[in-house]
Chain A
């Protein structure tokens, strides 16, 4: 069974469109994250949710809006897509928030904005 899954795996869209990426974890974890990995492999935290509540929002444009319907799901909605949004987006989860827990990553969603 896949621990952290994301859909879609690839997403190609035009500038100005709105798109969503879905994430689900079946590990029973309380905390979920969204990361962005750019073309140079630099991985940066975007959001962190603990039990459906936003914990971390790291200077992400408000075109990005995470939504957590329950603690097993954390979806990412992006409005008015820009060329600079092209990247690989990773969802992750951990048993609890804080830095003492290992994080489990999904396979990533490669977003290409043309």
Chain B
């Protein structure tokens, strides 16, 4: 069954603007990961945030995690046309089973 769901499904912005994508999940987790998928390519890992962390940064990426609301957000600042891609959150089910559950993704389009 699906664990994480991204919102919005699609987002279109101008270059230079910030993009915010959200992910909600249903059961408790150990950690949450964000991935990017360019059209026709495999997924690329962006950030992993653990359940005891609230915020994490990597370059222009900022991820927050609110375990009380069972949600996470990915912020891309000063977006570029090259950021155009689908973004997925992936969670576990909080147990010992080691598989990630991916959401359906947010399709981001950054117009130059």
Contact = CB atoms under 8 A, between A and B. Distances in A.
Contacts of B42: 4, 90, 92, 105-108
A33 B42 CA distance: 13
B102 interface: yes
Interface stretch (B19-27, B69-77, B92-100): B92-100
Contacts of B30: 99-100
The interface size bin for chain B is 20 to 34
A43 B36 CA distance: 13
Contacts of B100: 45, 99, 103
Interface of B: 2, 30-31, 33, 35, 37, 40-45, 48, 50, 86, 88, 92, 97-102, 104-105, 107
Given A102-B45, A103-B45, A103-B100, 12 more contacts: A31-B98, A40-B104, A41-B37, A42-B2, A45-B100, A48-B98, A90-B43, A92-B42, A92-B43, A99-B99, A99-B100, A100-B50
A97 B98 contact: yes
